[in-house]
Structure formats: structure tokens, C-alpha cells
């Protein structure tokens, strides 16, 4: 490797995979898929499960503005914690190993999720109930940011070059699958535990059941890594070379090596664009577009999103395979341009879609979601291929998570654009900007699918 910040693209032929290494690859892939699933399951817990029960943690009489601030803090603190966790655990994974870092972070968010399930309400400890919840969600975000930072690069380092696209798509497909799972768990909870005020069964303890399930999943994942997943052989070889004084640049300071590199800036720019478009699918589309503009009922909205996310499971895998065949860089460029054209057109149909038949709405939502989220089936192998072994976990964690910060303010961007143009047009402009930023960021970087980690 000739660069201190990125791997070098080579086309060295791959040798046959031994049965022992094949089993290690399968275990690491299963672990990474489960880690992504558990991470996303925990992320969606507040959105789907906790929001209806937040009155349990707050005073009875709150003005709408204060209520909105309290609600947003539950989600914002987790988002703030994730980049911090990616930085902390990314550096840890590069220093002590991907496997051990994953076990520590996963155990951490298992314990914290369990503690959240045990938080008493406002009638017991007053407003401290809400602040305890906020602090725990922040700490949870830190550990969640570390969960995938070690697990996902570990899986890629065990994968053969020709399989990285497929395995990356499979692992990231756990994201839409987790959304489907938490939505079904939420629907079951709402059906079993009535919600009617802060003293109702759901508000007092019904919401705790999904959190207990999330904690259990985390503990099972940690146990799986302890028993079944081996440390990355590539990382171990790099550490051995480092101890012998034969490695180059940046050793021992992975965060600084990443942040000072042009590679990070390129990945950051590309991922900022794709996070912006992703937020318009996951956060803006459901409530603002489908409920307020299209006029779907709660049941129609839930059915529409479930169908769309089931479609995304397959589209993520297909994207990974296509990116492997035509190249990651080319896929991102094409994908970004499709978002800025086809995606914008489909969004235009939706923002003006009041009165459309439900079947048409579902079809357009599915197509829109597939087009706009297609790059996410390719980001895992691409980002890990952009950074060399001694900074790979740090590079992946920072490139993947820090880039979410600016797009998180998409509502403010829409508000600003809304002062210059109609709101519906502002949405289309922001979506196009995100797609073009993603495509431009990819164009600024090299092709990576032939990178040899070893």
C-alpha cells in the first residue's frame, strides 16, 4: 500500500478459499447482518414505540412547543451520539481489533437499552424521568455508533473481492428488514396494550416490552461474537507488521490519519449527499408527504411503508450485485443522477398526489424508495475499500456516521428554500441537490472493487 489513507486498487487474482476461511467468512457475515439489524431495530424503537408513550415522562400540562422540543430531544440525542461512538469505537477497533470492539459496544447498548426499559415515569421521580431517558438515549447512540463500526469492516475483510458487493448488499438489507420488524412489533404492542393517557397500560409498561426485546437481541449478538466470530486475519497481519516496524504512516493515530486525508473528505461529501436523499425517504416521506399531502390514513400509511421496505430488502442486494459487476464508482454516479431525475419526478407525483388511488400511491412509493436508496446497497464495500487496514474501522465509522450530521438539518434547508420558492418545489430541489452531491462525490474518488485488502 502506497498511500497512508486508502487502499490501492489492484487486480490480483484470488486463490481458492479454504473451508476454514469460508466458515469464518460466513460467521462474520452473519454477525454483521445481525449487528446492522439490531442497530436499526434500536434506532427505530423511539420513533415507532416510544413516541406514543412520551407523555409518561412529562408533566401533564405542556404547551405544544415544549412538547415538540421534548420529543425531538429523544431522537436528536441518539443521532448526536452515533458519530461520537463511530469515532471512539472506530479507533478502538483499529487498535484492539474489530471483534473485541464489537463485543464491547454491543454489550453496552444492550445494557443501556435494558436500563431504558426500567426508567420510572414522571409521577415517580418528576422531570428527572425525562432527563434520565435523554441521557440514556445519548449513551445508547454512542454504543450503537460503535456496533457496526467494527462488525461491518470485519465482515468485508473476510470476504473475497468477488463477493464483497453481494455480501455488502445482504448486510445493509438488514436496515429495511429491521424497520419491518419494529413496525410489526409496534403494531402488536398497540393491539395488546391499550393507550389512553399517561396511566394507561401501554404508557406505563406496554412500551417497555419492545425495549426488553431490543436488549435481548443485543445480548444474543454479543454472545454470538464471543462464541462464533473470529478476529479479522487481515487486521491481525497488519498489527504483526506494525509491531515489526514494516507498516507505513498513521500507525497508532487512526482518527488523525483519517481526518487529515483527502479520502475522508471525498467519502464525507458523497455520503452527505446520499444521507440527505435517504432522510427524505425515511423521515420526510411518511408524515409530511404521505400523511399530510397525499392524505393517507394511519393504516394506509403503515401498509404502504411495510410494502416499500420489503421491496428494499431485495433492492439493496440487487444494488450490491450490480455495483460489483459495473463498479462501485460508476454505480454511485448513475445512482445519484437517477435520484436527481427519476427520483425527483416520482417525488413530484407524490407531493401532488392527493386523490390518487392507494394502489398507485404504493407503486410510486416503492419505485421512489428503490431509486433513492439504491446507493446504500453499495456503500459498505466501497467505504471499507477506500481505507487501508490500520485505519479502516475509523474510516468506515467516520465516513458513514459523521456525514449524517448536516443532512439531519434537512427541515431547516427546506424552510430556507421555502422562502424562495413553493414548498413542493423546494423538496424537489433538495432531493436533486442530494443526488448530484452523491454523484459528484463518487466521481471525485477512484474505483475500488479490485482493491486487495491484503
Q: Where are the alpha helices (DSSP H) in 352-402?
A: 358-373, 379-386, 392-401
Apex CA 116: angle with CA 114 and CA 120, to 5°?
Answer: 120
The pLDDT value recorded for residue 444 is: 97
pLDDT digits (tens, 9 = 90+) for 409-446: 888 888 888 888 888 899 999 999 999 999 999 999 99
Per the CB < 8 A criterion, the answer to whether 449 and 326 are in contact is no
Helices vs. strands in the chain: H and E counts, helices first: 20, 0
Give 253's pLDDT tier (boundaries 50, 70, 90).
low
Q: What is the mean pLDDT of residues 328-351?
A: 97
Give 240's pLDDT tier (boundaries 50, 70, 90).
confident
The pLDDT value recorded for residue 57 is: 83
Q: What is the mean pLDDT of residues 64-83?
A: 77
The pLDDT value recorded for residue 15 is: 60
Q: What percentage of the chain carries pLDDT values higher than 90? A: 59
Q: What is the DSSP string of 49-78?
A: IIGGGGGGGS-S---HHHHHHHHHHHHHHH
- Angle between the N-to-C axes of helices 298-326 and 174-192, in degrees from 0 to 180, rounded to the nearest 10: 160
Q: How many CA atoms lie within 13 A of 297 on its CB side?
A: 4
SS3 state of residue 252: coil
- Whether 76 has a pLDDT exceeding 80, the answer reads no
Gap between the Cα atoms of 433 and 439, Å rounded:
10
Q: What CATH class has 22-229? A: mainly alpha
Is the model more confident about 10 or about 272?
A: 272
What is the helix (H) or strand (E) element at residue 177, kind and residue range? helix 174-192
- Whether 344 has a pLDDT exceeding 70, the answer reads yes
- Whether 82 has a pLDDT exceeding 60, the answer reads yes
The pLDDT value recorded for residue 410 is: 85
pLDDT digits (tens, 9 = 90+) for 181-197: 999 998 888 888 887 77
Count the Cβ atoms, other than its own, within 10 Å of residue 112.
Answer: 23
- Whether 41 has a pLDDT exceeding 60, the answer reads yes
The pLDDT value recorded for residue 283 is: 82
Mean pLDDT taken over the chain? 88
- Whether 20 has a pLDDT exceeding 90, the answer reads no
The pLDDT value recorded for residue 218 is: 94
Per domain, the residue ranges of the chain are 22-229, 251-449
Residue 225's nearest CA partner among 152, 171, 145, 156 is 152
Q: Exposed, middle or buried: residue 219 (CB in 10 Å: 0-12, 13-18, 19+)? A: middle
Per the CB < 8 A criterion, the answer to whether 365 and 285 are in contact is yes
Gap between the Cα atoms of 19 and 42, Å rounded:
34
Gap between the Cα atoms of 261 and 251, Å rounded:
14
pLDDT digits (tens, 9 = 90+) for 111-135: 999 999 999 988 889 889 989 999 9
- Whether 16 has a pLDDT exceeding 70, the answer reads no
pLDDT digits (tens, 9 = 90+) for 187-234: 888 888 887 777 888 888 889 999 999 999 999 999 999 999 999 999
Domain 251-449 has CATH 1.20.1250.20: yes
User: Rounded to two decimals, what is the model's pTM?
Assistant: 0.88
Q: Give first-to-last CA distance, the chain, whole Å.
A: 9
Gap between the Cα atoms of 195 and 53, Å rounded:
8
Q: What radius of gyration, in Å, describes the C-alpha atoms of the chain?
A: 22
The pLDDT value recorded for residue 276 is: 94
Amino acid at each position: 500500500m502506497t498511500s497512508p489513507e486508502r487502499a490501492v486498487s489492484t487486480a490480483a487474482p484470488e486463490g481458492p478459499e479454504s473451508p476454514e476461511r469460508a466458515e469464518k467468512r460466513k460467521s462474520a457475515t452473519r454477525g454483521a447482518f445481525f449487528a446492522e439489524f439490531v442497530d436499526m431495530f434500536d434506532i427505530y424503537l423511539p420513533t415507532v414505540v416510544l413516541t406514543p408513550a412520551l407523555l409518561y415522562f412529562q408533566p401533564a400540562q405542556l404547551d405544544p412547543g415544549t412538547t415538540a422540543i421534548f420529543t425531538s430531544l429523544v431522537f436528536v440525542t441518539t443521532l448526536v451520539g452515533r458519530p461520537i461512538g463511530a469515532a471512539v469505537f472506530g479507533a478502538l477497533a483499529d487498535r484492539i481489533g474489530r471483534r473485541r470492539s464489537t463485543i464491547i459496544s454491543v454489550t453496552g447498548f444492550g445494557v443501556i437499552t435494558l436500563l431504558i426499559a426500567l426508567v420510572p415515569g414522571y409521577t415517580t421521580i418528576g422531570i428527572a424521568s425525562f432527563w434520565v431517558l435523554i441521557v440514556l438515549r445519548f449513551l445508547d447512540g454512542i454504543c450503537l455508533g460503535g456496533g457496526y463500526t467494527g462488525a461491518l469492516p470485519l465482515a468485508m475483510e473476510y470476504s473475497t473481492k468477488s463477493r464483497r458487493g453481494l455480501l455488502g448488499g445482504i448486510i445493509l438489507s438488514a436496515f429495511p428488514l429491521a424497520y419491518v420488524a419494529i413496525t410489526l412489533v409496534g403494531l402488536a404492542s398497540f393491539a395488546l396494550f391499550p393507550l389512553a393517557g399517561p396511566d394507561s397500560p401501554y404508557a406505563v409498561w406496554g412500551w417497555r416490552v419492545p425495549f426488553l426485546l431490543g436488549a435481548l437481541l443485543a445480548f444474543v449478538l454479543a454472545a454470538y461474537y464471543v462464541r462464533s466470530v473470529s478476529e479479522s486475519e487481515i487486521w491481525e497481519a497488519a498489527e504483526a507488521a506494525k509491531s515489526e516496524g514494516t507498516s507505513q504512516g498513521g500507525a497508532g493515530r487512526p482518527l488523525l490519519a483519517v481526518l487529515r486525508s483527502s479520502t475522508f473528505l471525498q467519502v464525507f461529501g458523497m455520503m452527505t449527499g446520499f444521507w440527505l436523499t435517504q432522510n427524505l425517504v425515511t423521515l420526510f416521506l411518511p408524515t409530511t408527504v404521505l400523511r399530510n399531502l397525499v392524505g393517507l390514513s394511519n393504516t394506509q400509511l403503515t401498509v404502504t411503508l411495510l410494502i416499500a421496505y420489503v421491496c428494499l430488502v431485495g433492492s439493496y442486494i440487487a444494488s450490491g450485485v450490480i455495483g460489483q459487476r459495473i463498479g462501485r464508482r460508476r454505480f454511485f454516479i448513475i445512482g445519484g443522477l437517477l435520484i436527481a431525475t427519476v427520483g425527483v419526478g416520482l417525488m413530484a407525483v407524490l407531493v401532488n398526489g392527493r386523490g390518487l388511488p392507494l394502489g398507485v400511491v404504493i407503486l410510486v412509493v416503492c419505485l421512489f424508495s428503490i431509486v433513492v436508496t439504491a446507493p446504500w446497497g453499495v456503500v459498505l464495500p466501497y467505504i471499507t475499500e477506500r481505507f487501508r487496514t490500520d485505519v479502516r474501522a475509523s474510516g468506515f465509522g467516520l465516513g458513514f456516521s459523521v456525514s449524517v450530521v448536516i443532512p439531519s438539518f434537512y427541515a431547516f434547508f427546506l424552510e430556507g428554500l421555502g422562502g424562495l420558492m413553493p414548498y413542493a418545489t423546494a423538496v424537489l430541489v433538495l432531493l436533486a441537490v442530494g443526488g448530484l452531491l452523491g454523484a459528484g462525490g463518487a466521481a471525485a474518488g477512484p474505483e475500488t472493487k479490485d482493491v486487495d485488502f491484503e
